[in-house]
Amino acid sequence: MVSFSLAGCSQVADWVNEKFPNNVIFNQNGGGITDIITGGGSNTTGGGSNNDGQKDDGSYYSTITDSMRGTTLLNALRAIISSNVSQSYAWSRYEQADEDPNNKSNIITIYARTSLKKTAHVSGNKGWNREHTFPQSKMNVAGSDEDNHIIFASDYKVNSTRGNKKLGVLNGGGTAVQDSYGNSTTARTTSGLFDPGDTMARGLVARSTMYACVMYGYTPTENFESISTMLNWNATYKVSSFEERRNNVVYKNQHNRNPFIDHPEYAARIWG
């Protein structure tokens, strides 16, 4: 991980954004900005390099075979991840899961990728709250509205702007989204679509949506403009060390894993 300050260096910041669009986190620290290159390497074997949380010991997916496809694979994964699950909406779950790897007193917000104090729970119109990346208004299965694999720390204003809009590609179209502190983000929105922008957030929301579909029986197009967009984001925005660590932390607390973080290739085998 590389960390460096860009406070007051707008030209350097612009260059970093251009060269590393998928792997930049903007860290709000008073008047300055710190950019963190998080890396984006994929690990499809489970676990991860961070010692926080609980890794897969290699047996978690032992019942999955290479020949499984479509509904067969979906049902086999559901049988694995739905056993002895302990969902919770407690703030502490998200303070742990979304911890900033460069500052353990902070969390990283899902869409804006900003670093905020863990204690900066939304107050008035600033701070962070808990975002259902699969909108809560579309949930009708018990437990899904408290599931740590679906809910992430999110800037209050960005969360509110997303609402229950479907996720889709805008690529500079629509309206730019600011966070609750007045900072610009990569996210853009229209009356019907929300796009976190060309960042690792696209991969995170794709894999959390796939998890929601397997775990609770939802469908991808309840949350995405199309299945092809969801699959494209999963393939393009690789699993990062941040996401691996998050999966391990949720596994420790909630007792199940997101299969599409451990095995992104399962997505094409089910929906491809």
What are the distances in angstroms from CA 225 to CA 67, 151, 195, 202, 271? Answer: 29, 20, 10, 13, 14
For residue 33, the model assigns a pLDDT of 32
Closest to 27 in 3D by CA, of 222, 183, 226:
183
Classified as helix, coil or strand, 239 is coil
Residues 6+ apart with CB under 8 A from 238: 40, 41, 42, 203, 264
Report d(CA 226, CA 63) in Å as an integer.
30
Tell me the average pLDDT across 139-147.
96
* Per-residue model confidence as pLDDT tens digits over 106-127: 999 999 999 999 999 999 999 9
Percent of the chain with pLDDT over 90: 77
For residue 25, the model assigns a pLDDT of 44
pLDDT at 5 over 60: no
Contact 69, 270 (CB under 8 A): yes
For residue 48, the model assigns a pLDDT of 35
Write down how long the chain is.
272
For residue 213, the model assigns a pLDDT of 98
Report d(CA 148, CA 249) in Å as an integer.
10
Percent of the chain with pLDDT over 70: 81
Tell me the average pLDDT across 200-213.
98
pLDDT at 38 over 90: no
Structure token digits, residue 49:
């390099």
pTM, 2 dp? 0.82
Contact 132, 194 (CB under 8 A): no
For residue 241, the model assigns a pLDDT of 96
* Per-residue model confidence as pLDDT tens digits over 153-192: 999 999 999 999 999 999 999 999 999 999 999 999 999 9
Enter the DSSP assignment of 224: B
For residue 16, the model assigns a pLDDT of 40
* Per-residue model confidence as pLDDT tens digits over 43-97: 333 333 344 789 888 899 999 999 999 999 999 999 999 999 999 999 999 999 9
Mean pLDDT of the chain: 86
